[in-house]
């Protein structure tokens, strides 16, 4: 056995590293061109005044100080947090509940799983049109039902500044619960059956099994879902746009729409970019916080 010289080891390591790079290269090129470069340009744009045509003018932190005093931006920020604060826990509960239900032995299991997943793959425009009809204050099914059970003044839903956001949250939860259910189902299948058998032998009831076995075992899945769900909620756009268009007034104006309006309606791309940068940092901060909490629990 000859011992490899230092040079050979280094060459070999380099080769290995190159091989690794080659494997991720196809994906990385796409990521770099379509995501990384635009994001870097976005950061640059946020410090400029740019109407898309011609050159941009460097204005330092002017865009950001303008955001601080912009009440529409405050409204959009508040609405985005409002949406997230309700949408994340509701979707989490709904998807976990569905996953628990559909993780049992049941006749027609595949059918029910498909039904639960269906909203997620339905066209968002169709979803918005149908839900809007259901929410119609005077002739909609929901308010007819509410009046039938004795609610004398049912909410105006998408046509009321107070109820538009709850209406959007309900539809958002309904739409996305099926997707996260699928992820939870995958997590639930990894929980060893023996643990439940042992627990039952020890006389643990269903709730005790859930809190002491199920939840700890699926924690990696839950963590992943919370992160994805948080980011998705913070950048909610299409659902709001097609359901309410941000209205009535600014009742459902969210950050993504504020960014879109500044850029593509007002042709103020620099200002829009600065709001996008704020959104990036909010998402980053929340995600980092979640990572830290998760690591503490692991320790």
Partner 1 sequence: MRHTTKWSVGLAAVAALALTGCSGNAATTAPAATTAPTTATAATTAPTAAPAPVTLTMAAWSLSSTPEFKTITDAFTKANPNITITLKEYKAGNDYDTQMIADLAAGVAPDLYVIKNLNNLFTYQDGKQLMDVSDVAAGYDSKTSGLPLYQVGGKTWAIPYRQDSWYLYYEKDMFDKAGVAIPDGKWTWDDYAAAAAKLSKGLGGGDVYGAYLHRWQSTVQSFATAQTPGASILSGDVTYMKPFYDRTVAMQNTGAQVKFATSSTNSLTYQSQFGKQKAAMLIMGSWYVASYLASADKGDAIKFNWGVAPVPQRDSSTFDKPVTFGDPTGIGINPAIGSDKVAAAKKFLAFIGGQDAALALSGIGIVPAYTSDAVTAAFSALKGVPTDTLSKFTFGTHDTKPENQVSANNPKIQAILNDMNTSIMSGSSTVDAAIAKAQARIKAEVLKN
Instruction: Please give the residues from 155 up to 174 whose contact with partner 1 meets the rule CB under 8 A.
Output: 156-162
Per the omega criterion (within 30 degrees of 0), is the bond before 185 cis?
A: no
Segment contacting partner 1 (CB under 8 A): 50-58, 96-104, 111-119, 282-290? 50-58
Q: Which residues pair with 48 in a beta bridge?
A: 58
Contacts with partner 1, 65-104, as mask; x by CB under 8 A = -x--xxxx--------------------------------
3-state secondary structure of 57: strand
- Least Cα distance to 83 among 253, 238, 260, 244 occurs for 253
Tokens of 171: 């539809």
> Does 209 participate in binding partner 1 (rule CB under 8 A)?
no
The Cβ of residue 237 has, within 10 Å, a number of other Cβ atoms equal to 13
> Does 154 participate in binding partner 1 (rule CB under 8 A)?
no
CB of 168 to partner 1, least distance (A): 13
Exposure letters 268-280 (e unless 16+ CB within 10 A, then b)? bbbbbbbbbbbbb
- Least Cα distance to 258 among 289, 236, 242, 227 occurs for 236
Q: Residue 5 — φ and ψ, nearest 5°?
A: -70, 165
- Determine the distance from the C-alpha atom of residue 58 to the mean position of all C-alpha atoms in its chain, rounded to a whole number: 33
CB of 267 to partner 1, least distance (A): 5
CB of 201 to partner 1, least distance (A): 53
3-state secondary structure of 249: coil
The correct pick among 1, 6, 26, 68 for binding partner 1 (CB under 8 A) is 26
Please, which residue, 187 or 246, has the CB nearer to partner 1?
A: 246
Instruction: Please give the residues from 2 up to 21 whose contact with partner 1 meets the rule CB under 8 A.
Output: 15, 19
CB of 125 to partner 1, least distance (A): 10
> Does 23 participate in binding partner 1 (rule CB under 8 A)?
yes
- Least Cα distance to 146 among 130, 134, 158 occurs for 134
Please, which residue, 31 or 291, has the CB nearer to partner 1?
A: 31
> Does 248 participate in binding partner 1 (rule CB under 8 A)?
yes
233 close to 83: Cβ distance less than 8 angstroms: yes
90 close to 176: Cβ distance less than 8 angstroms: no
The correct pick among 119, 154, 166, 247 for binding partner 1 (CB under 8 A) is 247
CB of 219 to partner 1, least distance (A): 37
> Does 274 participate in binding partner 1 (rule CB under 8 A)?
no
The correct pick among 3, 5, 54, 207 for binding partner 1 (CB under 8 A) is 54
* DSSP one-letter code for 48: E
> Does 249 participate in binding partner 1 (rule CB under 8 A)?
yes
Binding site for partner 1 (CB under 8 A): 15, 19, 22-23, 25-26, 29-30, 33, 51-54, 66, 69-72, 129, 132-133, 135-140, 156-162, 245-251, 261, 264-267
């Amino acid at each position: 056995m000859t011992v490899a010289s230092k040079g050979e080891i280094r060459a070999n390591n380099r080769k290995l590293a190159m091989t690794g790079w080659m494997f991720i290269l196809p994906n990385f090129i796409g990521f770099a061109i379509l995501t990384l470069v635009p994001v870097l340009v976005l950061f640059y744009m946020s410090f400029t005044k740019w109407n898309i045509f011609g050159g941009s003018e460097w204005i330092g932190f002017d865009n950001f100080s303008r955001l601080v005093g912009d009440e529409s931006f405050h409204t959009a920020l508040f609405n985005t947090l409002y949406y997230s604060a309700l949408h994340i826990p509701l979707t989490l509960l709904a998807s976990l509940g569905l996953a628990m239900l559909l993780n049992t032995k049941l006749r027609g299991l595949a059918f029910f799983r498909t039904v639960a997943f269906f909203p997620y793959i339905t066209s968002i425009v169709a979803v918005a049109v149908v839900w809007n009809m259901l929410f119609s204050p005077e002739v909609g099914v929901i308010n007819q039902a509410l009046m039938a059970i004795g609610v004398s003044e049912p909410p105006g839903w998408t046509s009321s500044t107070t109820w538009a956001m709850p209406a959007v949250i309900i539809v958002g939860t309904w739409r996305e619960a099926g997707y996260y259910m699928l992820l939870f189902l995958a997590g639930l299948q990894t929980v060893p059956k023996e643990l439940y058998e042992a627990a039952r032998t020890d006389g643990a009831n269903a709730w005790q099994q859930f809190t002491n076995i199920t939840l700890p075992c699926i924690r990696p899945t839950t963590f992943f879902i919370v992160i994805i769900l948080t980011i998705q909620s913070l950048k909610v756009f299409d659902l709001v746009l097609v359901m309410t268009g941000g209205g009535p007034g600014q009742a459902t104006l969210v950050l993504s729409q504020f960014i879109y309006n500044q850029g593509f309606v007002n042709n103020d791309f620099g200002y829009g970019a600065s709001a996008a940068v704020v959104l990036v940092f909010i998402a980053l901060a929340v995600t980092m916080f979640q990572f830290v909490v998760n690591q503490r629990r692991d320790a």
